[in-house]
Amino acid sequence: MPINFKNLNEIKASLAHHPNSNLLVVSKNRNIDDIDSIYKTGTILFGENRVQEAQSKFQNYAHLDEIQLHLIGPLQTNKVTQALSLFNVIQTLDRKKLVQEIIKEKNKNPSIKTSKFYIQINIGHEKQKSGVSITDVEEFYHYCLNSNIKIEGLMCIPPNNINPEPFFNKMLSIRDSLSSSLSLSMGMSGDYREALKMGSNLIRVGSKIFE
């Protein structure tokens, strides 16, 4: 699939009306040449779903120190060491066992690369999706803070084929109940416009760019 630079430019233009929002390009299943072409347009935020795929693509990338790489897929505990050495941001904290493994690795290696973490919320109560349940978010958030894990923001993936606005609105409510300084990572190719209207700080777009 070629890169749709027209769509990329349109998305960037829409962000001009939302100064507190940024674009994260979802680069899963794309090769490093495609990623480099996007990087050369001035884009520096990229998101990957799998640790091993990201490692194979980015570990020798010439501009790795100039981009911010986000993990936006589920993180298995046995991949924590690799993830913390590669990603700047992990958006998918969703259970205490994962936090505990991250703490262990931080204690062993204080110079890990990952500096920011998001809590993924299962905003639609969907069994097939990862994320902390809405009822457990507050307790999990404070568990992370007490464990010396800096929480940068909250992330969600709303149910497919349903108006996303109620779910985005719920994310706003949860964020404000925890800390108004938290960022919101919400909105993808099909609903990023709605997410921006609702105050998303980070939209994660892939298929609309790689059509």
* Position 202 pLDDT exceeds 90: yes
Rounded Cα distance between 102 and 105, Å, is 5
The domain total for the chain is 1
Q: What is the mean pLDDT of residues 47-67?
A: 96
Give percent helix, percent strand, percent coil of the chain, each to the nearest 5. 40, 20, 40
* Position 68 pLDDT exceeds 90: yes
Range of the domain at 14: 5-205
Is the residue at 69 inside a domain?
yes
CATH number at residue 89: 3.20.20.10
Rounded Cα distance between 67 and 10, Å, is 21
Is the residue at 70 inside a domain?
yes
* Position 76 pLDDT exceeds 80: yes
The reply to whether the predicted model has a pTM over 0.85 is yes
User: Is residue 137 very low, low, confident or very high in pLDDT (cuts 50, 70, 90)?
Assistant: very high
* Position 192 pLDDT exceeds 90: yes
Mean pLDDT of the chain: 96
User: Is residue 88 very low, low, confident or very high in pLDDT (cuts 50, 70, 90)?
Assistant: very high
Is the residue at 60 inside a domain?
yes
* Position 12 pLDDT exceeds 90: yes
**pLDDT reported for residue 110:** 82
**pLDDT reported for residue 33:** 95
Is the residue at 172 inside a domain?
yes
Is the residue at 210 inside a domain?
no
Mapping DSSP onto H, E and C, the string for 163-181 reads: CCHHHHHHHHHHHHHHCCC
Rounded Cα distance between 167 and 186, Å, is 10
Outline where the chain has alpha helix (H): 5-15, 32-39, 51-58, 80-86, 96-108, 137-146, 165-178, 192-197
User: Is residue 127 very low, low, confident or very high in pLDDT (cuts 50, 70, 90)?
Assistant: confident
Q: What percent of the chain has pLDDT over 70?
A: 100
User: Is residue 128 very low, low, confident or very high in pLDDT (cuts 50, 70, 90)?
Assistant: confident
Q: What is the mean pLDDT of residues 58-76?
A: 96
Q: What is the mean pLDDT of residues 84-99?
A: 97
Q: What percent of the chain has pLDDT over 90?
A: 94
In the structure encoding, which two tokens stand for residue 20, read together? 């507190």
Provide CB contacts within 8 A for 99, sequence distance 6+: 93, 143, 144, 147, 149
Pairing label, strands 68-71, 45-48 = parallel
